Every structure is written in structure tokens, then in C-alpha cells.
Amino acid sequence: MMADVIVVIILVLIIGSAVAYLVRAKRSGVKCVGCPAGGSCSGSRKVKKKKLAGTVIGKKTIQISGMTCSHCVMSVTDSLNRIDGVRAEVNLSKGNAVVSYDRDIDDNILKSAVEKAGFKVDSIHA
């Protein structure tokens, strides 16, 4: 019985601390609580649109799990755009990236780039 009371008290303290942290963070202007950028990610940073050297020969859509903010979008976009022959447009609300390419690109290369940015690829389809 006493152990149950102690567990409940500990849970209340943990939950209370978490709520207090969230409230303080939002009041201080943090846009994205829990963001890898420390909450300072900004949707105002424009991701520069990459130009491909050749003509676009195809597009693939990559479904991605784990993106929660514009900082995540920028990370995935930058990682995919480092691949020669690839131009990526990442959409946070849809949880995907549409990749245009001017040469054959193996799906494993795309998957590796997304995972390198710290996210999970759910599927890749043309």
C-alpha cells in the first residue's frame, strides 16, 4: 500500500514537472519544444531549391516517420539534396519527400540519406 502511494507521488511529480517545462518553454517563445535545434528552429528559413544538371527523368515519393518541425524538414532536405542528381521537396504535414532525379538513383541511397538525417523511411514509391 505504501509503495503504491510513493509511485503515485513520483508520477505526479514527473508529470507536473513536464507540464511546467512545456508552459515555461512556450511562454519564453520556443516554437518547437523537443526540437533537436533546441526549440529555435524557424519556418522562416527558406530551403534553397536545388537545380539539377540534367532533365528530370522521374520522381519518387518517400514516406518518412519522425519529422516534427521545420528543422527536421531542413535536415532531410539537405541530406537528400547532397546526392548528385537528386532534388528533394520535403513536406512536414504529409510526412514525405518528393524526390526528382536526372539519373537512376537506387532506393537504398535515398533511404540511407534520410536515415543519416535521423529519420525512418516507411516506404519509397514512384
For the stretch 28-54, pLDDT in tens is 766 566 665 555 555 545 666 788 888
Tell me the C-alpha distance between 73 and 97, whole Å: 9
Please identify every stretch of the chain with a pLDDT value under 50, giving residue numbers as ranges: 44
Q: What is the pLDDT of residue 80?
A: 96
Tell me the C-alpha distance between 113 and 37, whole Å: 19
The answer to whether 56 and 100 have CB atoms below 8 angstroms apart is: yes
Tell me the C-alpha distance between 38 and 34, whole Å: 7
Q: What is the pLDDT of residue 52?
A: 87
Q: What is the pLDDT of residue 27?
A: 76
Which three three-digit cell numbers place residue 46?
A: 527558406
Q: What is the pLDDT of residue 125?
A: 94
Mean pLDDT of the chain: 86
Cα 73 to the chain's mean position, in Å?
Answer: 5
